[in-house]
Chain A
Amino acid sequence: MDRQPLLSVRDLEIRFRMRHGDLTAVNRVSFDLARGDRLGIVGESGAGKSVTGFGILNLVSKPGYIAGGRLLFEGRELTALPEEDLRQIRGNRISMIFQDPMMTLNPVLTIGTQMVETILAHRAISRAEATAIALDRIRKVAIPSPQKRLQQYPHEFSGGMRQRIVIAIALLNSPALIIADEPTTALDVTIQADILELLLGLCQSEKMGLILITHDLAVVSQVAERIAVMYAGTIVEIGPTAQVAGNPQHPYTRGLLGALPQRVPRGGRLNQIPGMMPTLTRVPEGCPFSNRCTLCEEVCRRRVPPLEPKAAGCLAACHLLD
């Protein structure tokens, strides 16, 4: 019945105002996210993944700004909303989880204080009711003895526990969408799996949408239903997880998957994509990947390839695919 997507990003463009002119960090990014859908955004450092995440909250920090495009969330245009209304959406309808749980909790306030405060910022309920909700969420993220934990400070928790707390805080107001910006990068591998499982389970049971930003393909294929691959500020390929991970179309995605150590025989030399991602000041004309692409042709250097449906069933931005 609900045909309208939860979030619809159209031609989002985020620029940074620099001394020598504007840099385009996110260049005409478009995607849709249905209610309860899980999208993974992958790419190298500096590809514009995190900035896109902040852009969705309309919280790009200075000197960055949203230069164009539309952000339709639950039928409301986020780029045009006044600050006060945006604040009511942040932490309430859309939550965000950051990379480093050591840094995202305020060291001088107890967990309970921070959780209750998050609830009271958005709902007119009593402190006792808010505490009850906080307790419930802490139970949901499987932290033992929640009552006691609420009165503790962040330094009394281990890294994995803190990330659980951060997830609990994100869940407080039952958001429709969670943006997780590299939620497992700062954790060790065994805990990564726990946290991902937790996040996945919660998204399914609470029917929340998830945008998972990461550079780890294994993480993304474990959790997301669809994958968007970003390169130098643009989406180069987007499609269902099985499609993108199993049968990549764009040369960059192919290179990325080919570079996984599992794909190389033991003792063999790892594949890599030659060169480095261009800095934003030096994105080549035409296709941004043209200077590293082994298949590059004349047309690639001249025209920017549009993101369009390809025969394989995904969307990709490449002239050479049909």
Chain B
Amino acid sequence: MQGWRGFRKSYFVYSFLRDPMAMGSFLCLAILVMVSFGAPLIAPHDPYDSSTIDIMDSEMPPLWLDQSDARFLLGTDSQGRDMLSTMLYGMRVSILIGLGAVALQAFMGIFVGLVAGYRGGRFDAFLMRLADVQLSFSTYMVAIFFGALFQAAFGMGRYEQLAVPLLVIIIGFAEWPQYARTVRASVLAEKKKEYVEAARVIGLSPGRIMWRHILPNTLTPVLVISTVQVANAIMSEAALSFIGLGMPVTRPSLGSLIKAGFDYIFSGSWWITLFPGVALVVLILSINLLGDWLRDFLNPKLYKA
């Protein structure tokens, strides 16, 4: 209770409430996250339940156009699924993959960066060269390669079941060096400070010094890149889905919806691709704007008068 009151009075909340951009993007993001995770409760249809889908309903336009159906607010896709419901479910998949991939990246990257920075020497050189090698492959190249490999190895049926964890692993693995480099850079700066020396003088073990004393002091930049990385991971997933290596059409993410609709755009069914596209843009934009604000807030050199 006291913690909550302290939080409400903190400078963080104060400067957040003073920044309409931050408020707006946070509001946007909060709404998107809530509706997508509440999809089973609020979506008018269940796009995963094939018994409720009728192919005869396919490619219905949104409500405000001719030949629309009152049941489908934003129209239907090529299989007769309600666009609104499918998008809500799809956004949930996208956000899940984004968060999962970032959690994996952060875990690997923080571990490597912390150990490399603290130990230093050859160990550091080895791990950081490993990160350099990893970074010299483009994320998409790695993702396409492993995505294709998994699809071939598991077969399409198994792949459809495993798609979410696989994409998390692929995208997570491709981007861990971002975290490793950021964390290592701050560890190098922190470990020269006297409190680390003091911790050693107290007789704490290196593991404890690393995780308990240095890590919390390096979390500021980690927090900032995390927002950007979530947006990046969602975009990577959308891009992979767009070229057919991401989520299958039966369990679509925003990316695979855009891709599915793209095939029909020339036959006039623009809504199948436009609505998920807009949702994706709004999602990414609000995450990035929030990340920008967070970076400015956490950087004391950028304090405005």
- Among the 9-residue stretches A83-91, A134-142, A254-262, A312-320, the one with 4 or more Cβ atoms under 8 Å from chain B is A83-91
Are A92 and B203 in touch, CB under 8 angstroms? yes
**Interface 1/0 per residue, A110-121 and B, CB below 8 Å:** 000000011001
**Which residue on A lies nearest to B204, using beta carbons?**
A121
Contacts of B216 in A (CB 8 A): 106, 108-109
Considering the chains assembled together, what is the distance between the CA atoms of A255 and B237 in angstroms?
A: 75
A107 to B200, CA, bound (A): 16
A window 75-128: CB within 8 A of B? 86-92, 95-96, 98, 100, 103-109, 117-118, 121-122
Per-residue CB contact flags for chain B residues 110-146 toward chain A (1 = under 8 Å, else 0) read: 0000000000000000000000000000000000000
B213 beta carbon closer than 8 Å to chain A: yes
| CB <8 Å contact, B203 and A104 | no
Complex CA–CA separation, A247 to B185 (angstroms)? 53
| Tally of chain A residues near chain B (CB < 8 A) | 27
* Other-chain contact of B194, A91, A92, A98, A121 (Cβ < 8 Å): A98
Of all chain A residues, which has the CB nearest B198? Answer: A104
Chain A neighbourhood of B197, CB < 8 A: 61, 98, 104
Asked whether, in the complex, the Cβ of B200 is within 8 Å of the Cβ of A104, the reply is: no
- Determine which of A106, A121, A166 lies in contact with B203 in the assembled complex, contact meaning CB atoms within 8 Å: A121
Contacts of B198 in A (CB 8 A): 96, 98, 104-105, 166
Q: Which B198-234 residues have a C-beta within 8 angstroms of A?
A: 198-205, 208, 212-213, 216-217
Whether B201 pairs with A107 at a CB distance below 8 angstroms is no
Residues in chain B near residue A105, CB distance under 8 A: 195, 198
Cβ-based interface call for B193 (8 A): yes
- Most chain-A CB neighbours within 10 Å: which of B198, B208, B216? B198
Is A95 within 8 A of B195, CB to CB? no
Q: In the assembly, what is the distance between CA of A169 and CA of B203, in Å?
A: 12
A117 to B198, CA, bound (A): 13
Residues of A within 8 A of B208 (CB): 117, 121
The smallest C-beta distance from B159 to any residue of chain A, in angstroms, reads: 44
Q: Is the CB of A104 within 8 A of B202?
A: no
Does A59 interact with chain B (Cβ within 8 Å)? yes
Verify if A57 is at the interface (C-beta below 8 Å from B): yes
If the complex has contacts A109-B216, A121-B208, are A103 and B203 also in contact, measured as CB distance less than 8 A? no
Are A59's CB and B201's CB within 8 A?
yes
Smallest CB–CB gap between A313 and chain B, Å?
35
Provide the bound-state CA to CA distance between A90 and B202, in Å: 5
B211 to chain A, nearest CB (A): 12
* Most chain B beta-carbon contacts within 10 A, residue among A88, A106, A109: A106
| A107–B204 touching, CB < 8 Å | no
Find chain A residues with CB under 8 A from B200 CB. Answer: 59, 90
The answer, among B195, B204, B217, for a CB contact under 8 Å with A104, is B195
Q: Min CB distance, A167 to chain B, in Å? A: 12
Inter-chain CA distance A175–B158, complex, in Å, is 63
- Give CA–CA (A103, B194) in the complex, Å: 5
* Interchain CB contact under 8 A, A109 and B213: yes
Interface residues of B in 219-266 (CB under 8 A from A): none
| B167-200 near A? 1/0 per residue, CB < 8 Å | 0000000000000000000000000011101111
Contact of A106 among B199, B201, B205 (CB under 8 A): B199
Contact between B217 and A106 (Cβ–Cβ < 8 Å)? yes
Also in contact, A108 and B217, with CB within 8 A (given A98-B194, A103-B194) = yes
Chain B: minimal CB distance from A69 (Å): 20
Pick from B194, B203, B217: contact of A90, CB under 8 Å:
B203
Which residue in chain B gives the minimum CB-CB distance to A100?
B194
Q: Which residues of A contact B201 (CB under 8 A)?
A: 57, 59, 90-91, 95-96
Contact between chains at B213 and A121 (CB < 8 Å)? no
Q: A169: nearest residue on chain B (CB-CB)?
A: B202
Q: Are A122 and B213 in contact (CB under 8 A)?
A: no
What CA separation (Å) do A107 and B212 show in the bound complex?
12
Q: Smallest Cβ distance from A148 to chain B, in angstroms?
A: 12
**Across the interface, which residues of B come within 8 angstroms of A61, CB to CB?**
197
Within 8 Å CB of A169, what residues of B?
202
B:145-175 near A, CB below 8 Å: none
Contact across chains for B203 and A107 when beta carbons are under 8 A apart: no
Give A87's nearest chain B residue, CB to CB: B203
Q: How far is the CA of A42 from the CA of B193 in the complex (A)?
A: 25
CB-defined contacts of A86 to chain B, threshold 8 Å: 203
A-B contacts, 9 of them at CB < 8 A, read: A59-B200, A59-B201, A95-B202, A98-B194, A103-B193, A104-B195, A109-B213, A117-B212, A121-B204
Besides A98-B194, A104-B198, A122-B203, 15 new A-B residue pairs in contact (Cβ under 8 A), listed by A number: A59-B201, A86-B203, A91-B202, A95-B201, A95-B202, A100-B194, A103-B194, A104-B195, A107-B217, A117-B208, A117-B212, A118-B204, A121-B202, A121-B204, A121-B205
The 10 closest A-B pairs by CB, nearest first: A91-B202, A90-B203, A91-B203, A103-B194, A104-B198, A108-B216, A87-B203, A96-B201, A106-B195, A104-B194
